Chain A
Amino acid sequence: MLKIYSLRYQHFIFLLFCITLSFAFLMPDRSTMLQQYLTLITGQTHLLQDSFYVGGAGAFFNTSTLLLFVFLLSFDYKEQRLSGIQLSALGLFIGHSFFGLNLINTLPIILGIRLYAAWTSQTFKRFISVSLFSCAASPLISYFISINLNNVFTLILAILIGVLIGFISPPLAEHFVKFHQGFSLYNFGFTTGIITMFIVTFFQYFNLEIESISYIETKFHYYLMSYYITILSVIAFFYLKNHKHHLQELRKLFHSSGRVPDDFFSKFDTGTVAMNGFVTGSVYLCLLLCLKIEFSGPVLGALLSLIGFCSFGKHLKNTIPTSIGVLIAALLMDIDLNSITVSLPLLFVTSLSPITGYYGIFCGILAGFLHMNLVSVVMPLHQGMNLFNNGFSSGFIAAFLVPIIDTIKENKPNTF
């Protein structure tokens, strides 16, 4: 049996690249893979635009190119082991490659961050994870590229907008984290939501309109589920050698509130963090199957984001109550529990898991309930140009709820 116990970050990414590329070549539509990929990278992307709508092989190929890109980006990283923020950024970035991200619409943003690092005389290594987080605004770059591929002006405009977004993202994100006090894990979702909201307000001056799109593809359900199970298996194979010890440590990990920055790698060994990802990822897989939610690009992406953040704040004890809150709201709204309007908030609401971890189960359920009500309200603000819409919503929820709970607790400490 292979005795690699702790893969380095780069090796882990390369392994994911190989697995993803293999799936691309296993898809039934692999004969048109490159054509699908070209359609993906040159077309408009949108919050609810499933990459698998274009084609299964092309979608996996797109993700594998992004994995290779991350591998090259972090090639000089001197860290000997994975860290929570790296893994969470990777999970979010790769997860959204299945609905919105591609190489063309992410590079300008990362270039912008690189310029910001140079301008502030800081090493770019500080911003590698931030670069991955900031690509939430990629649909804006795709929007301008897709207007007219043969027009150099729109291509330059797309690049400039991407660079601008990348340049202003780090300082804004640093300040916005105080708005929700670290109780929303998807801080960049909130930051990018604000940025894209301001940018789309200027579209009216140029008679630009964004078409509302919703393309969800579930015909590759079994392939996507197999891919997800493969990822879970990789985690189990490489990291769960001493599972009895890890399960014991996992009970201690469940006491972590998850409020950022709660890097589990700094308090627990790699195997325990991997066990957390494996257990949480498996339970949510079972939850989706029970609710008969079919796998699509966004659903797969949400699950990968969830696993990524199991090293940086999330665990079963603080995520489940928030998801219960979403389900309660959906039942009261009389929405089909297996629709995309429920499945995405169900998974992404886990951004508010620190509220459960800090204030208790009831507050977590309440946060989830409010999130389900707000998430569709905030989307028109950025018109689908922010891929982390649930992160945008959860920022507001955390900022609204936390001061109220704190005030109540000060007067009634035993209430929660």
Chain B
Amino acid sequence: MITEKNKSTRILKEITGYFLDQCLMQFDIHFNITKTEFELIVTAPCKEKPKSFDRFIEELNVPRELEIEEYYNALLGSHTQHEDYSFLGKNIDVANGNYENNQLSVQIIRYF
């Protein structure tokens, strides 16, 4: 059974995993869980926008699928390189990505 705290930590692991894969070793995290939603914002200084960033955001914006997130919950957070992020996308409602002034940021929202 999904618990939202458990899910939130798994999502955090996936997003920070992406940043580490892009060799962004310093980043700031805003993590907020309320009664109705979970919001995560990760920001990192970045000299050049990663080539995979647009595709990453696109994959995060696939529609949410309730059946998938329940059944495969245990796999979230076990991301490896060369795999797409559409599974993570199916667990969240909103995903925004931005690269401005050498700052890379990703905002995630999951509604309960």
User: What residues of chain A have their CB less than 8 Å away from a CB belonging to chain B?
Assistant: 83, 85-86, 120, 122-123, 125-130, 170-171, 173-175, 177-178, 181-182, 187, 257, 259-261, 263, 266-267
Taking A83-B65, A181-B78, A263-B65 as contacts, is the C-beta distance between A130 and B71 under 8 angstroms? yes
Within 8 Å by CB of B87, from A125, A181, A261, lies: A261
CB neighbours of A120 from chain B (8 A): 1
Task: Show 8 A/B contacts (Cβ-Cβ < 8 Å), sorted by A.
Answer: A123-B66, A126-B66, A126-B70, A130-B67, A174-B74, A181-B75, A181-B78, A261-B87
A263 and B73 alpha carbons, distance in the complex (Å): 15
CB neighbours of B66 from chain A (8 A): 123, 125-126
A257 and B87 alpha carbons, distance in the complex (Å): 13
Taking A83-B65, A120-B1, A130-B67 as contacts, is the C-beta distance between A177 and B86 under 8 angstroms? no
Contact B71 A128 (CB under 8 A): no
CB neighbours of A259 from chain B (8 A): 83
A387 and B36 alpha carbons, distance in the complex (Å): 41
A181 and B1 alpha carbons, distance in the complex (Å): 18
- CB interface residues, B 29-43, toward A, < 8 Å: none
Q: B87: shortest Cβ distance to chain A, in Å?
A: 5
Contact B90 A266 (CB under 8 A): yes
A171 and B70 alpha carbons, distance in the complex (Å): 9
Q: B82: shortest Cβ distance to chain A, in Å?
A: 8
B12 within 8 A of A: no
Contact B90 A129 (CB under 8 A): no
How many CB-defined contacts (below 8 Å) exist between A and B?
70
CB neighbours of A128 from chain B (8 A): 67
Contact B62 A261 (CB under 8 A): no
For A175, give the chain B residue with the smallest CB separation.
B74
Q: A-facing mask of B71-102, CB < 8 A → 1, else 0?
A: 11111001000111011001000000000000
Taking A178-B75, A182-B75 as contacts, is the C-beta distance between A130 and B62 under 8 angstroms? no
Contact B68 A170 (CB under 8 A): no
CB neighbours of B67 from chain A (8 A): 83, 85-86, 125-130
Q: A295: shortest Cβ distance to chain B, in Å?
A: 32
Within 8 Å by CB of A266, from B71, B78, B86, lies: B86
For A123, give the chain B residue with the smallest CB separation.
B66
Which range holds the interface residue count of chain B?
20 to 34
CB neighbours of A126 from chain B (8 A): 66-67, 70
CB neighbours of B78 from chain A (8 A): 178, 181
CB neighbours of A122 from chain B (8 A): 1, 70
Q: A10: shortest Cβ distance to chain B, in Å?
A: 16
- DSSP class of A's interface residues: helix, strand, loop or mixed? helix
For A171, give the chain B residue with the smallest CB separation.
B1
CB neighbours of B75 from chain A (8 A): 177-178, 181-182, 260-261
Taking A181-B78, A266-B62 as contacts, is the C-beta distance between A257 and B83 under 8 angstroms? yes
A177 and B75 alpha carbons, distance in the complex (Å): 7
Q: B73: shortest Cβ distance to chain A, in Å?
A: 6
Within 8 Å by CB of A260, from B63, B70, B72, lies: B72
For A86, give the chain B residue with the smallest CB separation.
B67
For A83, give the chain B residue with the smallest CB separation.
B65
Q: B4: shortest Cβ distance to chain A, in Å?
A: 12
A143 and B78 alpha carbons, distance in the complex (Å): 40
CB neighbours of B83 from chain A (8 A): 257, 259
The 3 A-B pairs at the shortest CB distance, nearest first, are namely A178-B74, A126-B66, A126-B70
CB neighbours of B68 from chain A (8 A): 85, 261, 263
A169 and B76 alpha carbons, distance in the complex (Å): 19
For A85, give the chain B residue with the smallest CB separation.
B67
A261 and B88 alpha carbons, distance in the complex (Å): 10
Within 8 Å by CB of A170, from B62, B70, B86, lies: B70
A285 and B67 alpha carbons, distance in the complex (Å): 31
For A181, give the chain B residue with the smallest CB separation.
B78
Q: A88: shortest Cβ distance to chain B, in Å?
A: 11
For A260, give the chain B residue with the smallest CB separation.
B72
For B62, give the chain A residue with the smallest CB separation.
A266
A174-B71, A263-B86 known; 12 new pairs, CB 8 Å cut-off, are A85-B67, A120-B1, A122-B1, A130-B67, A170-B1, A174-B70, A174-B72, A260-B72, A260-B75, A261-B68, A263-B65, A266-B62
Contact A130 B70 (CB under 8 A): yes
CB neighbours of A181 from chain B (8 A): 75, 78
Q: B75: shortest Cβ distance to chain A, in Å?
A: 5
Q: A414: shortest Cβ distance to chain B, in Å?
A: 15
Chain A CB count within 10 A is highest, among B63, B66, B67, B90, for B67
CB neighbours of B90 from chain A (8 A): 261, 263, 266
